[in-house]
Amino acid sequence: MRKLILSALLIAVFASCKKLSDVVPAKGVGTETPNNTDPVVTPEEEAALLASLKITPLNYKVQEQQIKASVTGSKLTLAFDEKIHLLIDKDRYNTSWYIYFNEDYSNTAFADFDFTTKLQWGDVSQNYKPFNLNQIDKTVSDTTIAGVAVVNVKFERELKFFKNYETTEAANAKLNALIGTREDMKFSTSYMPDSTKNSISTTKVVYVK
């Protein structure tokens, strides 16, 4: 099981932005044994993963994200229940100014929508969401890879995007056009103040009722 988890982590490394290419070798991530049991994870691959975490956090096991669409009157609401799992070098987690995390939904249907979200301190904000991990409710746990301490950070937050249309019919027409479609969304994370080195991951968002 441990080998399988490490193999998945290495896939996340190789799927990250090209700025990691000077640390992570451009090769396959573990070879399956002849009977298709757990992939073989080499010490070199473990070292590559740990070296990449020194440069930037990784968005681990990026999942397809669901957007729940609904209409009230002439208002279309798209509720995005975001689920994130980051893997972070422990030393850099403790010594960075903060861990930066942000979404890029410029290629989605709700790119120009207003949105609200509940902040860590209980207020509801409009058109503002924290990108500082210290200001996001989360769970933090420790793990080790090849004897090296690594931090798991998991969080969920809901962003409610909304737009008012001229009529209920227009809002419903937009809803029906969206249901079942998939679009690309990107996530970016980095150690601050070193904002020149980012890990960028892409996933799909799917619209559901």
Q: What is the mean pLDDT of residues 80-108?
A: 93
Largest CA distance in the chain: 62
Residue 16 located in a structural domain:
no
In this structure, is residue 130 part of a structural domain? yes
Question: What local confidence, expressed as pLDDT, does residue 185 receive?
Answer: 93
Is 64 contained in some domain?
yes
Could you tell me if residue 117 is inside a domain? yes
**Structural domain contains residue 36:** no
Residues with Cβ within 8 Å of residue 80, at least 6 apart in sequence:
65, 66, 67, 110, 158, 159, 160, 161, 205
Considering its fold, how many domains does the chain have in total?
Answer: 1
Least confident segment among 15-29, 39-53, 72-86, 104-118: 15-29
Name the β-bridge partners of 135. none
Q: Could you tell me the CATH number of the domain that includes residue 89?
A: 2.60.40
Q: 74 in a domain, yes or no?
A: yes
Whole-angstrom Cα distance, residue 189 to residue 171?
Answer: 34
CB 171 within 8 A of CB 165: yes
> What mean pLDDT is predicted for residues 46-55?
88
User: Model confidence at 62, in pLDDT bands (50, 70, 90)?
Assistant: confident
Q: What is the pLDDT of residues 22-41, one digit of tens each?
A: 333 333 333 333 444 445 66
* Triad 101, 107, 108: Cα angle to 5°: 90
- Mean pLDDT for the stretch of residues 179-186: 94
DSSP 138-186: -EEEEEEETTEEEEEEEEEEEEEEEEE-SSHHHHHHHHHHHTT-EEEEE
> Domain span at residue 131?
60-208
d(C-alpha 108, C-alpha 88), whole Å:
28
The predicted structure's pLDDT at residue 22: 34
Q: What is the pLDDT of residue 34?
A: 41
Is 46 among the domain residues? Answer: no
pLDDT level of residue 90 (50, 70, 90 thresholds): very high
Lowest-confidence segment of 44-48, 121-125, 140-144 by average pLDDT: 44-48
- Summarize the confidence of residues 128-135 as an average pLDDT: 94
**Bigger pLDDT: 98 or 23?**
98
Rounded to an integer, the average pLDDT of 44-57 is 88
| In-domain check, residue 160 | yes
C-alpha torsion sign, points 140, 146, 147, 148: negative
